[in-house]
Amino acid sequence: MKTFLLPHLICPACLPAEIPLKIDRSREDRGDIVSGKLSCEKCRRIFPIREGIAFLLIDPDSYRGGGQSRYDDTEMVNRYLWSHYADLAGVLSTGEANSAWAECLAETATTALDTGCAVGRLTFEMGSRGRWAVGCDLSLNFVRMARLLATERRCTFSLPLEGNLRESFSFELPEHLCSDTVEFVVANAQALPFARETFQQTASVNLLDRVSYPLAHLYEMNRVAHKAGASFLFADPFSWSAVSTPEDKWLGGTATGPYRGRGLDNVRSLLQGKDRIIAPVWNIIRETRISWAMRTHTNHTEIITSEVLVSTR
């Protein structure tokens, strides 16, 4: 874990109190803590750093390792590598989405957070626009792959061509996507291990309908964002499913309850101050839709459309 994160880390278990974490380094290599532990003096929890990866979860062993989640599956890592980087491997179909996401970011932002970052394309884009950027995800395999990319700056992966035949893809990170300003950690977007007002740019892209408590996630995104001079990129396809989110916690897609109707309308209202959950309020400066692709085999690519709110305050 790169040392630039240290001053901003707090204990996710002690929230809403913000208790800074203390570092005990076992091995450091040029500003990268390869192994060690972070600890909270209040609750005495230990957050390990193993093979350079910080585990910043309330229960540090609850990351989705060992294939417990579909997002930790090796084939899912390959599918997200294709979705995020196939344009760099010469596949045109994903290029438009990647540039569309990047265009929704502020031109400059000193510090940036990408929640549910998967294999990190947007985090790298953020890192190229400011002093540093951090991506967080619950999936250890995604974080491990994103960190490997930051170190190696190149990657080869494969996806099914047809049946058991596979097709290989190789790409390199272009020069403008810096690695040394970017870090990836295992953390929960509903209990973020960062101090309030740490980030000038925040992003929640295609995550809201995948967390167990979406309102808690939006509340956390608000807590860690600057109160002024901040940008927030929000996007979601609103594919509500009880598998990820209990129905009574959905922020849309129901006919009854405080968040009946469409998810986009409810998120817009929340950002604009409904029920005073989020403050200061955000100004929506752009609303758009971005379609992105997930490939299973050469003749099967899913196109998913996300509704996007770009806001500043």
Interface ranges with ligand SAM (CB under 6 A):
71, 83, 115-118, 136-139, 142, 188-190, 205-207, 210-211
Residue among 260 and 289 whose Cβ is closer to ligand SAM: 289
Judged by beta carbon, residue 137 or residue 307, the one nearer ligand SAM is 137
Shortest Å distance, C-beta 52 to ligand SAM = 19
Residue nearer to ligand SAM on the CB measure, 34 or 293: 293
Please say which residue, 59 or 162, places its beta carbon nearer to ligand SAM.
59
Q: In angstroms, what is the minimal distance from the CB of 249 to ligand SAM? A: 12
Smallest distance from the beta carbon of 300 to ligand SAM, in angstroms? 18
**Closer residue to ligand SAM (CB): 4 or 213:** 213
Query: How many Cα atoms sit within 13 Å of 5 on the Cβ side?
Result: 28
Minimum distance from residue 131 beta carbon to ligand SAM (Å): 22
CB of 209 to ligand SAM, least distance (A): 8
Closest CB to ligand SAM among residues 206, 222: 206
Residue nearest to ligand SAM (CB): 116
DSSP sequence for the chain = -BGGGGGGBB-TTSTTS-PBPEEEEEEEETTEEEEEEEE-TTT--EEEEETTEEB-SSSTT-SS-TT-SGGGSHHHHHHHHHHHHGGGGT-GGGHHHHHHHHHTS-S--SEEEEET-TT-HHHHHHHTTSSEEEEEES-HHHHHHHHHHHHHSEEEEEEEEETTEEEEEEEE--TTS-STTEEEEE-BTTB-SB-TT-BSEEEEES-GGGSS-HHHHHHHHHHHB-SSS-EEEEEE-----TTTS-GGG-SSSBSSSTT-B-HHHHHHHHHTTGGG-S-SPPEEEEEEEEEEEEEEETTEEEEEEEEEEEEE-
Residue 276 C-beta: closest distance to ligand SAM, Å: 24
With respect to ligand SAM, which residue has the nearer C-beta, 25 or 223?
223
Nearest approach in angstroms of CB 43 to ligand SAM is 20
